[in-house]
Amino acid sequence: MARYRLTVEYDGGPYRGFQAQADLPTIQGEIERAVAAFSGETVRVHAAGRTDTGVHATGQVIHFDLVRDWDPRVVMNAVNAHLLPAPIAILSAGLAAENFHARFSAVGRRYLYRILGRPGPPALERGRVWHVRAPLDAAAMHAAAQRLVGPHDFTTFRDAACQARSPVKTLDEAAVARRDEEVIVTFAARSFLHRQVRSMVGSLAEVGRGVWTADDLAAALAARDRAACGPVAPAQGLCLVEVVY
């Protein structure tokens, strides 16, 4: 029995999230089908993060076990071949220790959110950015985002369906920067609550529009009340870019 660790990139647009669901297209379902097609084995794929419907990844990490020992390069190439034409790609593959777990061994995750701020909608980047017509003040957003850094009760930015045992998380990094017409928002933490990143981005956008101040954002956090959250940013701008072990 061998355990394989793979790094995966995907466009989440056509899928109902990562986690397998009966009769619905998912990232997990596609990868498990591809592994079975080349190996003849039925496997369960485990991921570092179960991304939501429409969320993308460039650095998702998964693992699965195979009875037969394959060269990791063969595994990568074979899975990629059977994934075509799905917008999912294995970027790297290697053997992992038998106690490695893509989710529970991770000590950090980094998400990036892209906001396109211009009057015209995206054509080439449609489905990969949040289009906001009004100009956003990235510097004000960055300053406000620092109020979220550290250990906090993030109930305000927690989806009602979140199954985490506690709303307390430690946000290690929050950064907002302008890149030409885009505003790039980055968050890093050991783990996140369900839709926490999209909730924080939506509230930061209110700061960028001048509707909220940094104090308003801090007050929303302190309220520990989902009703205090700003509009939740859409899924298409969000990407899981790194998992740290």
Number of domains in the chain: 2
End position of a domain, from candidates 45, 70, 96: 96
Contact assessment for residue 110 and residue 103, using Cβ atoms and an 8 Å cutoff: no
User: 85: which residues sit within 8 A by CB, 6+ positions away?
Assistant: none
Flag whether 101 is in a domain.
Answer: no
Q: Up-side HSE of residue 72: CA atoms within 13 Å toward CB?
A: 15
> Is 117 in the same domain as 234?
yes
> Is 67 in the same domain as 184?
no
Provide the residue range defining the domain that includes 30.
Answer: 2-96
Average pLDDT, the chain: 97
User: Which bin fits 119, alpha (ψ -120 to 50), beta or left (φ > 0)?
Assistant: alpha
pLDDT single digits (tens) 143-194: 999 999 999 999 999 999 898 999 999 999 999 999 999 999 999 999 999 9
Which CATH number fits the domain that encloses residue 155?
3.30.70.660
pLDDT single digits (tens) 28-47: 999 999 999 999 999 999 99
Q: Which residues are catalytic?
A: 52
Flag whether 49 is in a domain.
Answer: yes
* Nearest CA-CA partner of 200 in 103, 135, 106, 111: 111
Strand-pairing partners, residue 5, are 63, 94
Flag whether 60 is in a domain.
Answer: yes
